[in-house]
Chains A and B, each alone.
Chain A
């Protein structure tokens, strides 16, 4: 949808995408967007990290960043004091499973990146911000979950072609289909017979060709911006 911009422009670019992302996410997400603009001013306090897509390690760190975010989100959801009353038993089981899976993904990437390139190559812990989500409100949580999962699917789909290693491509494939399973289940909790939500920029998550989206890092980082205080810059993204 857009080509990556030089690092110097990344922050502006990110905000641009972030506004665009809000268009497709409905009323609740629009409110989220406004709050996130405010917290965005604090981003610098949380530091900045750079994802360098010129190597597979950079692509793995991109996935690691998203898994960090998802893991932190579901950990917060299941740890909320009202978790047992906000969600029915089935939903609790789903959210507990998602929390486990995403934490496993996060831990896996931390381990795999360290093995591949050393501890110094592992992306630092991101500072997250879920203040835009009302953890005691079922719909607020599930809509945020759907955004994370749908965005994650599109992120992996878009990043597959950046990977040079067939082994890493296979591993990414092993994870993205699980993210798709998550996305489908969450969509089904929000709406009977639904298997996906709304894609970035508007329209059904699954298009007329029966395809999930394949997002650029700019699109993805824009969509998750409301939930991350750390500035994430993407450089050397292949065209």
Chain B
């Protein structure tokens, strides 16, 4: 199978540096022993263009996040604390599994190589040690997923992938709200979610404001509209997040060495 992106290696070096910076930030947000050298996406795929992300990059990025979420829910389903939430977690796991299959199919149909991960390539440590910890990270991962898809909409605008990505994006929003409700939180994001276990999930990214943003379409809605609290205005709009920042959040959980498999034999090339 040929790699459509292999001709774009020229810009990959800058991408690797960028990726390393992103992964270094993991240590600052308290996720434990995250290695800065975690293989994430193959450089030629991950950062093929300096000016923007190609559709393949976006799809493999989305696929990686879906693998991450699926692994997290599968590992939680192996625990004995889910109780009445088990059917919901099973529903969400099934959705993430469907997203993995869908994205893999889309990449393969277009002649690309989907990244390969197994459940064991992801490590969540204390986040799986209790129901409360599980819910806390589930909320963060879902809210991150919502921001991640939104952040790439412009990169795949005008392609056949946009609508499908939007159809996944809104399902992640549904997941996020359902998990939030299990925690006794509101289904939406108030301000920048003070007290979040991973503050970067709700913070500003490269070119994207934090979740407590109140300026939309160039209009300061807190000033322009009357009758609403600032918190309500922030709740009414979710914010996007860039790939580098999202990888900084997600990278801390990727401890396996799975990478893209070019030869199609199912083995790990690393």
Contacts and interface: CB of A to CB of B under 8 A. Distances in A.
A176 B153 CA distance: 12
A173 B240 contact: yes
A184 B166 contact: no
A211 B167 contact: yes
Q: Is the interface of A mostly helix, strand, loop or mixed?
A: helix
Nearest to A153: B170
A97 B228 contact: no
A48 to B, nearest CB: 28
B164 A211 contact: yes
A105 B217 CA distance: 12
Nearest to B95: A210
Contacts of A190: none
Interface in B74-123: 84-85, 87-88, 91-92, 94-99, 101-102
Given A171-B216, A173-B166, A177-B170, A184 B178 contact: yes
Contact of A101 (B166, B175, B178, B235): B235
Contacts of B178: 184-185, 188, 193, 195
B183 to A, nearest CB: 13
Q: Which residue among B84, B96, B101, B162 has the maximum number of chain A CB atoms within 10 Å of its CB?
A: B162
Contacts of A104: 221, 225, 228, 232-233, 236
Contacts of B247: none
Interface stretch (A36-44, A159-167, A219-227): A159-167
A157 B91 contact: no
B171 A211 contact: yes
B150 A174 contact: yes
A192 B216 CA distance: 34
B237 interface: yes
B218 A115 contact: yes
B192 to A, nearest CB: 15
Contacts of B87: 193
B19 interface: no
B239 A174 contact: yes
A115 B149 CA distance: 27
Contacts of A195: 88, 91-92, 174-175, 177-178
B32 interface: no
A183 B167 CA distance: 14
A214 interface: yes
Interface stretch (A24-32, A76-84, A106-114, A125-133): A106-114
A103 interface: yes
B216 A174 contact: yes
B188 to A, nearest CB: 5
A27 B9 CA distance: 58
Contact of B171 (A105, A171, A187, A206): A206
A170 B217 CA distance: 10
B167 A180 contact: no
A59 B53 CA distance: 26
A185 B170 contact: no
A52 interface: no
A181 interface: yes
A178 B227 CA distance: 20
Interface string B177-209: 110110000111000000000000000000000
A211 B240 CA distance: 20
Given A104-B233, A161-B163, A180-B173, A174 B238 contact: yes
Nearest to A149: B174
B174 A193 contact: no
Contacts of A177: 146, 150, 169-170, 172-173, 238
Contact of B237 (A94, A178, A180): A178
B2 to A, nearest CB: 27
Given A177-B238, A178-B238, 4 more contacts: A156-B170, A166-B157, A181-B176, A209-B101
Q: Give 10 nearest A-B pairs by CB, closest first.
A: A210-B98, A180-B173, A177-B173, A184-B174, A181-B177, A210-B95, A184-B177, A211-B167, A166-B154, A180-B170
